[in-house]
Amino acid sequence: MTESMPVLAELTPELDAFIVEWKDKPGNLVMVLHKVQEIYRYIPRDVAAAVSKKLGVPLAKIYGVMTFYHYFKLEKPGKHIISVCMGTACYLKGGDKLLDELKKLLNVEANATTEDGQFTLQAVRCVGCCGLAPLITVGTNVYGTLPESRLPEILEKYSK
């Protein structure tokens, strides 16, 4: 039984205030999870457990929702998140090559984090800048019309 008793995290004041604001609005769960991810960059289990208690929603339901949506991360991401667009426009223009090259350069699989915790590499579906295909984003920066040859220089920038 001990295993299934989740540890509760202490909520940050920001999250606490957000939950108070949203508690009585119907359909608030997805929005609360967005807030959690905004603060922690992923959804730690102990925070999910605390949210469950505070909202009065079973943890199982929270996990049901979290795992349904691609956007929510269950594991802690690296310092920088590199997203390679694999939307149709980017795929046709060589998005898959960018992904392969990044896997090689970072020595990591797609949707995984490098050992040093610096980079998480992920494939995403269309970030809505298809005019700039193929592209990657690092954090909030977009690098468009990108040849594979520029990747090392971009990684360099974030490696410091």
SS3 of 122, please? strand
133, 136, 146, 151: which one binds ligand FES (CB under 6 A): 133
Residues in region 7-36 near other proteins by CB under 8 A:
26-31, 33-34
Residues in region 53-82 near other proteins by CB under 8 A:
64-65, 68-72
Q: What are phi and psi of 15, to 5 degrees?
A: -65, -40
Torsion of CA 112, 114, 119, 120, to 10 degrees: 0
* Segment holding 119, helix H or strand E: strand 119-124
Is 37 within 8 Å of 73 (Cβ atoms)?
yes
Residue 145 binds ligand FES (CB under 6 A): no
Residue 67-106 contact track with ligand FES, rule CB under 6 A, x = bound: ------------------x-xxxx----------------
Q: Residue 41 is encoded by which pair of tokens?
A: 């960059």
Decide which of other proteins, ligand FES, none touches 56; Cβ closer than 5 to 8 Å per partner kind: none
Query: What would you measure as the largest C-alpha separation in the chain, in angstroms?
Result: 54
Residue 47 binds other proteins (CB under 8 A): no
Q: What is the rounded distance in angstroms from the CA atom of residue 37 to the CA atom of residue 27?
A: 17
Decide which of ligand FES, other proteins, none touches 13; Cβ closer than 5 to 8 Å per partner kind: none
Which residues of this protein are in contact with other proteins, per CB under 8 A?
A: 26-31, 33-34, 64-65, 68-72, 86-93, 124-133, 140-142, 144-145
